[in-house]
Amino acid sequence: MARTGQATPADSAVPARVGYGTLLRTPGAWTFVAPAFLARLPFAMLSLGIVLLVVDTTGSYGLAGGAAAVAAVAQALIGPQSGRLADRHGQAAVLIPMVLVHATSVAALITFALGHAPAWTLSVLAVPAGASVPPIGALTRARWVHALRDQPPAGLSTAFALESVTDELTFVIGPVLATALCTTVAPAAGLVAEAALTAVGGLAFAARRRTAPPVRTAADTHRASALAHPGVRLLAGSLLGVGSVFGGLQVSITAAAEAAGHAGMSGVIYGLFACGSMSAGVAFGMVSWKRSPQRRMLLSYALLVLGCSTLWAMPSLTALAVAGLCCGLAIAPTLICAYTLVDSLVRAGAKTEAFTWLTGAIGLGLAAGSTAAGLVIDAHGPSGGFLVPLAGSALGLAGLVAGRGLLAPRTAPGRSAATGGQALDAAVDAVAAVRG
């Protein structure tokens, strides 16, 4: 006799865990996961590639951090608009022109930098280079939401864990690749590779149209932006602090490695930081959590602040690498919870935009962190630069704690708000109800 849909107390206490293998056997998953990985590698290479090229051509970390910051700000401001357009017109319609513009913009930036053009021209050219970076991470998460719309809610949590792990893997490979190319081949080689990967991966991802979510209806196009939800604004604000960790560490680690006479080690050290995050993300996605995503995010964010508080005092590159690895353990869990929460806050048809606001906030934080760290390093040396990630993450945590009540998930009609481990279940039930 078939079982009814009624859950037992044991079933409702802990959501069923969905493994990575089961997740990747979702029909069509590999057709967008593989090209998405290739296309998002440049996200971890652009800022560092700009820093290494501008430092080589100008000798100033302040100018290098400023150029990278301009690119990151442009990416952060334009990214959500491209996500909104993708919701309205389809992913391919947005991706293809962005990829072409990006390749052209990066080529122009390289040409002017190697020609020793004035510093202001490099910042101007960094604007289209950053603005045209395709929001692959947000587009991929939107595809998972669509692919798993009829699956158990635990599957979506695992998918977001996989995406965060993939993001971190790109930050393991990307900085090492960019640094190796810039220091052993040519100062511009990192950006050349970044543009090529964006073009190849982005176009391949755009070609996989069957797995893309449907475009929004005409009625949806007149609704408010996903950023109108106060919980989305809170999450975006808190991820500014996470972005400042990325930006501050990129510039500070590069400066510390240069000062120690081992410039080529900067990519390895930053890669270890990302490796710590990736490892934690893998483990995080394998656990059937009883605590709500809100509580998990607060805890992981607090651990991030604690990890950042040790970096400035490290006496050697080896100690810095170990401290960075430990600090990175808190990154992926924080991001997984943030994307899980934002999915529970917004309606269907605005997912890509909402995800892109979080990615854009990280980019803005990266811009602020790299700029501030570059200025501090020029004035006080590499160790001072590590105070920037500490300050940024501490401010992000303070805002998150103060506004944590805004993160209650949407609930379906007639359903009481869930708590603890049932929060994500209720959120996805609400999403399913909206889809009908």
Least confident of 214-228, 318-332, 365-379, 390-404: 214-228
The predicted structure's pLDDT at residue 106: 95
Q: What is the mean pLDDT of residues 213-222?
A: 62
Give the CA distances from residue 293 to residues 82, 236, 296, 389, in Å, rounded to whole numbers and listed in that order. Answer: 27, 16, 5, 24
Task: Please tell me the least confidently modeled range out of 177-191, 398-412, 413-427.
Answer: 413-427
- Average predicted confidence (pLDDT) for the chain: 80
**Is 164 part of any domain?**
yes
Residue 9 within any structural domain of the chain? no
- Digit-coded pLDDT (tens) for 53-66: 988 888 887 788 78
Q: What pLDDT does residue 219 have?
A: 52
Using CA atoms, how far residue 287 sits from 19, 121, 283, 302, in Å, is: 9, 49, 7, 20
| Domain ranges, residue 253 | 29-215+226-435
Q: Within a domain: residue 290?
A: yes
Number of H helices, E strands in the chain: 19, 0
Which of the four pLDDT bands, split at 50, 70 and 90, describes residue 223? Answer: low
Residue 15, domain member (yes or no): no
The residue-averaged pLDDT of 369-377 equals: 87
Q: Write the CATH number for 64.
A: 1.20.1250.20
- Tell whether 332 is covered by a domain: yes
Residues 6+ apart with CB under 8 A from 101: 128, 132
Does the residue 11 lie in any domain? Answer: no
* pLDDT tens digits, one per residue of 91-132: 888 899 999 999 999 999 999 999 888 888 998 999 999 999
Q: Quick one: DSSP state of residue 27?
A: T
Read off the tokens for 418. 């869930």
What pLDDT band is residue 234 in, cutting at 50, 70 and 90?
very high
pLDDT at position 4:
39
| Residue 1 lies inside a defined structural domain of this protein | no
Residue 22 confidence class, pLDDT cut points 50, 70, 90: confident
Please report which confidence band the pLDDT of residue 9 belongs to, taking 50, 70 and 90 as the band edges.
Answer: very low
Q: How many CA atoms lie within 13 A of 246 on its CB side?
A: 32
Residue 137 CA to residue 42 CA, distance in Å, equals 12
Q: How many domains in the chain?
A: 1
What pLDDT is recorded for position 339? 86
Instruction: Tell me the pLDDT band of 340, cut-offs 50, 70 and 90.
Output: confident
Mean of the pLDDT values across residues 6-13? 41
Of the listed ranges 37-46, 56-65, 281-290, 328-337, the one predicted with least confidence: 281-290
For residue 413, pLDDT beyond 70: no
Per-residue confidence (pLDDT) for residue 16, from 0 to 100: 53
Q: Is the pLDDT of residue 425 over 80?
A: no
Q: What pLDDT does 266 receive?
A: 81
> Does residue 398 have a pLDDT over 90?
yes
Over 70: is that where the pLDDT of 411 sits?
no
Tell me what pLDDT residue 124 has: 92
Is the pLDDT at 239 greater than 90? The verdict is yes
Dump strand ranges (E) for 172-213. none
- pLDDT for 217 equals 59
* Residues above pLDDT 90, as percent of the chain: 21
Residue 322 inside a domain? The answer is yes
Mean pLDDT lowest among 109-118, 134-143, 203-212, 405-414: 405-414
Q: What's the pLDDT score for residue 424? A: 36
Alpha carbons 127 and 236: distance in angstroms, whole number: 21
Question: Which pLDDT value is given to residue 435?
Answer: 35
